[in-house]
Chains A and B, each alone.
Chain A
Amino acid sequence: MRIYSASSEETLRARKLLEDWAGEGFLTKEQYQRLEHETVSELRTSNIFLRLILFLFTLIGSGAAAALFIVVFFSRPSGQTIGIFLLIFAAICYAAAEAAVSQARLYRHGIEEALAVCSVVLLCVGMQFALFSRSPYSPDSLHWLVPAAGVVFSFWIWHRFGLWYAFLAAMIFAASLPRYWTPSHSAQHVTVALLYAIGLLWVTAVRSRHRFDYLEGEYSVVEALLWLGIYLAINLQLSSLNLRGQWWAGTRAAFEFARPFYWTTWVLIWALPPVILARGVRQKDRFVIAVGAIAAILTFLSNKPYLGWPRHTWDPMLLGMLLAGTALFIQRWLAHGPGGIRHGFTAARLSGKDKYWMNAVSPVLGLVTPQAITPSPQTSSPDFRFDGGASGGGGAGGDF
């Protein structure tokens, strides 16, 4: 079912690991050169920057080609005609993606990815036009077909090409399905969480067969996404539409939901992060641990709005101290273990990729932060005064 052979992907993975190990000094130069010859893959990969640019231009070309065809060959096309041709273009894009891999052996190259993404987008837009554009009175009960097709096809793209963001797209399509089935907001939240939970059960069953092989990383990302999806579906404060207003005013989203349901979700948002973290730590799964940490932080952030308590200006300070304190404690605890290792975990850097990402991201974060955290410069008006919050410094009310 997968378009790439297992041996090709394993070889590619081995090659990347060799590069990493040689960079870290775990292999000598001679060893690396010798082993490199044994890990030659026929797959064509690309640098991350070229991949992004190739992805972009493929999207531009495919989208413009579909639009050009319709503009040139139809003067005033009906919605149905447009829909049918978009469906044909979806099929062409998909075929082109398959050909790009089977003929040109492209792997995470940008082009085949953009073609696959185009095929999903064109399929959904084409279905919408073909089925529902002609009559505004078309039955509402069938509108769910478009996101359902999006779920199925995105899932297929993920399965076939191994693109993690196709799975994310399938999850987003799935999240939009329940609103076609029930008007109840509570039922919608429960349905989405259930859909993701079913996916999670499936993934956990499947990934156990791929321990330490090339597919493990892929299933790890998918599992992490599903955990995050379940958490977001359950956390009513995060998934509420009037998020900012509610958070600022400290009002609850409780009026939308039955009280037992509302308070059950509050219990669940506290229960879920430890479960996710425990699962991640047990599996030594980087992505699941990250989602567990994100869920824990989101729980701290949404707890006050949940309870209807007002926010305080010092809340971020407390959160910051908690995060930094936790990191420091773990770091020291691990470092004091024998050889800097405790229970199979270490705070030391073992991969060159970690350093690469730190070096690449830190200048960007450094550029972004001053604007984000420092008070804005005063205006040139000499009458301007720093009113100590009475005028709403930092955006907060004076009586906050």
Chain B
Amino acid sequence: MTILDRLEHWNEQGAISLDQHAYLAGLCRREPFSLFLELNVLLYAGVLAFVAGLGWTFTTWSEQLGDVLVLTVLSAILAACFWYCFSRAPAWSPAETPAPTAVFDYVLYLGSLVWCVELAYLENRFHVLSGQWDFYLLATAVFFFFLAYRFDNRFVLSLALSSLAGWFGLTISRWPAHQDAVYRQCALLYCLVVGLGALLLQRRGLKPHFSGTYLNIVANVLFWALLSGVFNRRGYGVWFVALVLACGASLAWGLTRRQFAFVAYSALYGYVGISSILIRDIRDETFILSYFVITAVVMLVVLVQIARRFGRPA
């Protein structure tokens, strides 16, 4: 029985109305056919290609074009984008707000990327902050957080999060002993700041739908940082304990909230970390292969049980 037959059957049963039947059968026959996703992808690719070309052109031809022209063009685009966004945005609301127009999100995204290009140009040409790039990144992160929350835009939120991560990284790179351990601490600090910030904002009811983006980024940065500690030849015990705790927390969070990405993170990162500890000094290939066979079977059994109990169709 095809879906069209089922709709007919449900209509005859009275489970759906005649109007619903007509509408849903039309959707199944692709009448109308929505180009929503395709047009959004085209807009995104268009903005990205445009800004890439803009940055490349001004980088290459800045001498010939002159600073005034370059900065005027960049500022004009920036002003136009933000004028469009501020003039058309609905009143701010802490809840999820749909974009007022179909191109709104992409105009904001274009403005944000042009902002990055203009700052990079200014610093490269005039050395305003004498190479103190971290201040630009911090200011950019703050500005992007403001834009993301004002206009409810996930693109710009992730730009803000990556700018903040860049600020943490660049600041650390100026420290005298910038070794892996320092970077790791920096990553953990980043996770702490972003995680606590997300929690606070969610509790206050400020754009609570952003929390998924925060948590996914924090989880991945945290697991990478912990794994890099576990891979050390010395002093990996603390990192290993931290990894196990993080995996447990991620698993519990994923199961209770039915967010299976976190179950997947805990399974994958946990397996890599534990395996690296257990087989790092072993050269016997029979043992190593046996280890992979047994542990893979154990993981499968556990994951199948989880899938049966908590899983749902994708």
Query: Is B3 in contact with A388, judged by CB distance below 8 angstroms?
Result: no
Is A242 in contact with chain B by the CB < 8 A criterion?
Answer: no
Which of A50, A64, A111, A313 is close to B292, meaning CB atoms less than 8 Å apart?
Answer: A64
- In-complex Cβ contact of B38 among A290, A359, A378 (8 A): A290
Q: Which residues on A sit within 8 Å (CB–CB) of B282?
A: none
State how many angstroms separate the Cβ of A158 from the closest Cβ of chain B. 20
Known contacts A61-B296, A314-B53, A374-B116; A331/B33 CB under 8 A = no
User: Would you call B33 and A315 a contact (CB within 8 A)?
Assistant: no
Q: Is the CB of B314 within 8 A of A369?
A: no
* Most interface-central of B16, B36, B106, B117 (chain A CB within 10 A): B36
Establish whether residues A330 and B292, one from each chain, have CB atoms under 8 Å apart when the complex forms: no
Given B2, B45, B293, which contacts A212 in the complex, CB threshold below 8 Å? B2
- Bitwise, A357-391 to B at CB < 8 A (1) or not (0) is 11100111111011111110111101000111110
The answer to whether B285 has its CB under 8 Å from any CB of chain A is yes
How many inter-chain residue pairs (CB < 8 Å) link A and B?
317
CB of B234 within 8 Å of the partner chain:
no
Chain A residue with Cβ nearest B136: A377
Cβ B32 vs Cβ A293 within 8 A:
no
- For the complex, give the distance between the alpha carbons of A252 and B42 in Å: 29
Q: Is the CB of B120 within 8 A of A374?
A: yes
Does A194 touch B at the CB level, under 8 Å? no
* B-side contacts of A31, CB under 8 Å: 15-16
* Contact A34–B35 (Cβ < 8 Å): no
Chain B residues with CB under 8 A of A181 = none
Query: A27, A34, A50, A394: which contacts B263 (Cβ < 8 A)?
Result: A50
Q: Is A13 located at the chain interface by the 8 A CB criterion?
A: yes
Residues on the B chain within 8 Å of A318, using CB: 53
Contact partner, A27, options B20, B170, B292, Cβ 8 Å: B20
- CB neighbours of B121 from chain A (8 A): 375
Q: Which residues of A contact B260 (CB under 8 A)?
A: 47-50
Taking a contact as CB atoms closer than 8 A, the residue among B10, B44, B311 that contacts A35 in the complex is: B10
- Structural contact, B300 and A377, CB atoms closer than 8 A: no
The distance in angstroms between the C-alpha atoms of A4 and B153, with both chains bound, is 42
Which residues of chain B in 28-58 are interfacial with respect to chain A, using CB atoms and an 8 Å cutoff?
28-40, 42-57
A198 in the interface (beta carbon within 8 A): no
Q: Are A347 and B102 in contact (CB under 8 A)?
A: yes
> Which listed segment binds A: B123-131, B179-187, B188-196?
B123-131
A366-B162, A367-B162, A378-B131 known; A14 and B43 CB under 8 Å? no
Question: Which stretch in B83-91, B236-244, B301-309 binds the other chain?
Answer: B301-309
A319 contacts partner chain B, Cβ-Cβ < 8 Å: yes
A51 to B34 alpha-carbon distance, docked (Å): 28
Could you give, for residues 1-12 of chain B, a 1 whenever the CB lies within 8 Å of some chain A CB and a 0 otherwise?
Answer: 111101000100
A48-69 contacts to B, CB under 8 A, are 48-54, 56-58, 60-61, 63-65, 67-68
B208-262 contacts to A (CB < 8 Å)? 213, 216-217, 260-261
B48 touches A369 (CB 8 A): yes
Interface positions, chain B 134-186, Cβ under 8 Å from A, are: 154-159, 161-163, 170, 174
Q: Is the beta-carbon distance between A359 and B28 smaller than 8 angstroms? A: no
Is there a chain B Cβ closer than 8 Å to A344's Cβ?
A: yes
Which residues of the partner chain A approach B3 to less than 8 Å between Cβ atoms?
10, 13-14, 17, 212
Residues in B whose Cβ lies below 8 Å from that of A212: 2-4, 28-29
Query: A324 contacts which of B33, B50, B120, B261 (Cβ < 8 Å)?
Result: B50
How many Å lie between the Cα of A339 and that of B34 in the bound state? 13
Q: Is the CB of B307 within 8 A of A331?
A: no
A46 within 8 A of B: yes
Q: Are A349 and B34 in contact (CB under 8 A)?
A: yes
CB < 8 Å: which of B2, B32, B60, B154 contacts A313? Answer: B60
| A350 interface contact, C-beta 8 A | yes
- How far apart are the CA atoms of A394 and B52 in the complex, in Å? 10
A10 to B4, CA, bound (A): 11
Assess whether A26 is in contact with B23, with CB atoms less than 8 Å apart: yes
Chain A residues positioned under 8 Å from B47 (CB to CB): 320, 324
Given A13-B3, A317-B57, A323-B45, A45-B39 contact (CB < 8 Å): no
Is there an interface contact between B154 and A363, defined as CB atoms closer than 8 Å?
Answer: yes
Instruction: Report the bound CA distance from A367 to B44 in whole Å.
Output: 14
Q: Contact at A61–B42, with CB atoms within 8 Å?
A: no
Complex-state Cα separation, A386 to B121, whole angstroms? 9
Q: Which residues of B contact A350 (CB under 8 A)?
A: 27, 32, 34, 36
Do the beta carbons of A50 and B307 come within 8 Å of each other?
yes
Whether B157 lies near A366 (C-beta < 8 A) is yes
Chain B interface extent, by class: 35 or more
Contact B39 A327 (CB under 8 A): yes
Q: Does A15 contact B (CB under 8 A)?
A: yes
Closest-CB distance, B287 to chain A (whole angstroms): 10
Which chain B positions have C-beta within 8 A of A365?
44, 155, 158
Q: Which of A310-353 contact B (CB under 8 A)?
A: 313-328, 330-331, 334-335, 341, 344-351
Q: Check if B49 sits within 8 Å of A396, measured CB to CB.
A: no
- Cβ contact within 8 Å between B50 and A286: no
Q: Which of A13, A293, A370 has the most CB of B within 10 A?
A: A370
> Given known contacts A54-B304, A293-B42, A327-B42, is B24 in contact with A345 (CB within 8 Å)?
no
Tell me, yes or no, whether A255 is within 8 Å of chain B by CB: no
Indicate if B133 sits at the interface (CB-CB under 8 A): yes
- Would you call A60 and B50 a contact (CB within 8 A)? no
A400 in contact (CB, < 8 A):
yes
Q: How far, in whole Å, are A289 and B4 apart by their CA atoms in the complex?
A: 24
| Docked-complex contact B56 and A316, CB < 8 angstroms | yes
Q: Is the CB of B289 within 8 A of A68?
A: yes
Verify B116–A370 contact, CB threshold 8 A. Answer: yes
Is residue B79 contacting chain A, with contact meaning CB distance below 8 A?
A: no
Instruction: Digitize A53-96: 1 where CB-to-B-CB distance is under 8 Å, 0 elsewhere.
Output: 11011101101110110011000000000000000000000000
B34 & A346 in contact (Cβ 8 Å cutoff) = yes
Say whether B15 contacts A35, CB under 8 Å: yes
Partner of B123, one of A325, A328, A378: A378
User: A358–B32 contact, CB under 8 A?
Assistant: no
**CB-contact partner of A68 in B15, B293, B313, under 8 A:** B293
* Other-chain residue from A39, A297, A357 in contact with B37 (beta carbon distance below 8 A): A357
Q: List 17 A-B contacts (CB under 8 A).
A: A16-B313, A38-B10, A44-B308, A46-B307, A48-B260, A49-B263, A50-B311, A53-B303, A58-B300, A61-B296, A317-B50, A327-B43, A331-B39, A350-B34, A363-B213, A388-B62, A388-B63
The 4 A-B pairs of least Cβ separation, nearest first, read A320-B50, A324-B46, A388-B63, A366-B158
